[in-house]
């Protein structure tokens, strides 16, 4: 899953939200670098990623992509699933999406100095370009793919991925709608309601 889904699945505290995003930036053993609730958020992020990668609907989504993009299929699916979460947000929560996104941005700015350097540098760009809000349409997904293409090895293979997303859009959405309730149940079993 990508940022929006991890944030949705976090407990509501600022520390939990921070931990849910830090999972992409903190590698290896966590140790005592972070307070307990942030540490639990990072661990939950890792658990969610492992569950997501193993779920049959997610595997089916990854298999929709051509062999030239297969190495990046997980990344593409994560971005697509955030797009579908944006579209179906009211089906999963009564919390309005725009205030939720604003709160996340405020928390990130408030705690920016405590974040790893790479993430701290990313926060103003993320907010300025409204990465979380941009998932509302495929143009935002395409921009996210473009950003990623310059940061990863062989990222040029992400070029044109939006066409495959459009081609398989209905099946990707169906897979998301099968997968996401299972993920919610999985997380609630581990963290409580």
Which residues fall within 8 angstroms of residue 176, CB to CB, at 6 or more apart?
Answer: 57, 61, 80, 81, 84, 85, 88
Q: Does pTM top 0.95 for this prediction?
A: no
3-state secondary structure 22-78: HCCCCCCCCCCCCCHHHHHHHHHHHHHHHHHHHCHHHHHHHCCCCCCCHHHHHHHHH
* Percentage of the residues of the chain whose pLDDT score is greater than 90: 61
CA dihedral 86, 88, 90, 93 (to 10 degrees): -80
HSE, CB side, 13 Å, CA atoms: give it for residue 185: 6
- pLDDT tens-place string over residues 149-161: 666 656 566 677 8
What is the per-residue DSSP string for 60-124?
HHHTTS-TTTGGGHHHHHHHHHHHHHHHHHHHH-SS-HHHHHHHHHHHHHHTGGGS-HHHHHHHH
Chain centroid, CA 79 distance in Å: 7
- pLDDT tens-place string over residues 38-89: 999 999 999 999 999 999 999 999 999 888 877 888 889 999 999 999 999 9
Q: What are the tokens at 118?
A: 């790479």
- pLDDT tens-place string over residues 3-43: 999 999 998 889 999 999 988 888 888 888 888 899 999 99
């Amino acid at each position: 899953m990508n940022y929006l889904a991890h944030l949705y699945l976090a407990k509501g505290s600022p520390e939990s939200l921070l931990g849910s995003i830090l999972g992409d930036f903190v590698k290896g053993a966590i140790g005592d670098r972070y307070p307990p609730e942030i540490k639990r958020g990072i661990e939950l992020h890792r658990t969610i990623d492992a569950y997501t990668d193993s779920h049959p609907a997610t595997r089916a989504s990854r298999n929709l992509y051509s062999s030239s993009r297969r190495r990046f299929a997980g990344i593409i699916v994560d971005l697509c699933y955030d797009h579908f979460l944006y579209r179906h947000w009211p089906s999963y929560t009564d919390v309005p999406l725009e205030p939720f996104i604003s709160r996340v941005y405020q928390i990130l700015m408030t705690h920016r100095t405590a974040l790893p350097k790479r993430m701290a540098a990313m926060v103003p760009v993320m907010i300025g370009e409204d990465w979380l809000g941009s998932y509302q349409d495929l143009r935002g997904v395409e921009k996210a793919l473009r950003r990623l293409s310059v940061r990863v090895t062989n990222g040029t293979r992400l070029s044109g991925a939006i066409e495959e997303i459009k081609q398989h859009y209905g099946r990707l959405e169906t897979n998301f709608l099968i997968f996401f309730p299972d993920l919610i149940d999985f997380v609630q079993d581990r963290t409580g309601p």
